[in-house]
Structure 1
Amino acid sequence: MRSNHAKGEATDARMGEQASTSQLGSTGSTGEQRIGVVLVFLSALMWSLGGAIARFIEAPDSWTIVFWRSFWAAAFLLAFMAWRDGMRGTLRLFREMGVPGLLVAICFATASTSFVVALAYTTVANILLMQAGVPLLAALFAWVLFRERVATATWVAIFAVISGVAIMVSESLDGAVSPIGDGLALLIAVAFSIATVITRRFAHVRMTPATCLGTLIAATFAASQASMFVVTPHDMGFLFAFGALNLGLGLACFATGARLIPAAIAALIGTFETLLGPIWVWLVHAEVPSTRTIVGGAVIFSALLVHLTLEFKRQARPQRPGITGVPMPD
Structure 2
Amino acid sequence: MAQDLAPPPSIKTPAPDPVENRRGVLLVLGAAIIWSFGGAIARGLETGDPWAIVAWRSIFAALFLLAFMLWRDGPTGTIRLFRTMGLPGVGVGLCFATASMSFVVALGYTSVANILLMQAGAPLIAALLGVIFLREAVDRVTWAAILAVIAGVGVMVSDSFAANVSFIGDGLALLIAVVFAAATVITRRYSDVRMTPAVCLGVIIGAAFGISLAQTLVVSIRDLGLLVLFGAFNLGLGLAMFVTGARLIPSALAALISTMEPVFGPIWVWILHSEVPASRTLVGGVMVFLALIGHILWQWHKSRRTALPLPN
Matches within 5 A, 1:1-330: 20-21=14-15, 27-28=16-17, 30-175=18-163, 178-318=166-306
Query: How much has 1:271 moved relative to structure 2?
Result: 0.7
Percent identical among aligned pairs is 59
Any conservation in 2 of the 1:41–1:272 contact (CA below 8 Å)?
yes
Any conservation in 1 of the 2:123–2:252 contact (CA below 8 Å)?
yes
Cα deviation code 1:134-183 (max 9, x no counterpart): 10010011112222111111000000000000000001013565322212
Q: Distance in 1 between matches of 2:186 and 2:302?
A: 26
Aligned length: 302
Q: Distance in 2 between matches of 1:34 and 1:3?
A: 27
Amino acid in the other structure paired with 1:139: A
Amino acid in the other structure paired with 2:35: W
Any conservation in 2 of the 1:157–1:307 contact (CA below 8 Å)?
yes
Query: How much has 1:3 moved relative to structure 2?
Result: 11
Cα deviation code 1:81-119 (max 9, x no counterpart): 000000110000000000000000000001111122222
Q: Distance in 2 between matches of 1:111 and 1:298?
A: 26
Q: Distance in 2 between matches of 1:159 and 1:225?
A: 38
| Residues 276 and 285 of structure 1, relative CA distance in 2, 3 Å threshold | same
Extract unaligned runs of 5+ from structure 2: 1-5
Any conservation in 2 of the 1:275–1:300 contact (CA below 8 Å)?
yes
Q: Distance in 2 between matches of 1:248 and 1:260?
A: 19
Amino acid in the other structure paired with 2:283: V
Any conservation in 2 of the 1:104–1:210 contact (CA below 8 Å)?
yes
Amino acid in the other structure paired with 1:312: W
Query: How much has 1:319 moved relative to structure 2?
Result: 7.0
Q: Distance in 1 between matches of 2:299 and 2:265?
A: 25
3-state SS, counterpart of residue 46 of structure 2: coil
3-state SS, counterpart of residue 78 of structure 2: helix
| Bigger mean CA offset, 224-233 vs 205-214 | 224-233
Any conservation in 1 of the 2:7–2:135 contact (CA below 8 Å)?
no
Any conservation in 2 of the 1:20–1:262 contact (CA below 8 Å)?
no
TM-score with structure 1 setting the length: 0.88
Q: Which runs of 4+ in 1 moved over 6 A?
A: 1-4
Q: Distance in 1 between matches of 2:264 and 2:210?
A: 28
TM-score with structure 2 setting the length: 0.93
Query: How much has 1:20 moved relative to structure 2?
Result: 2.0
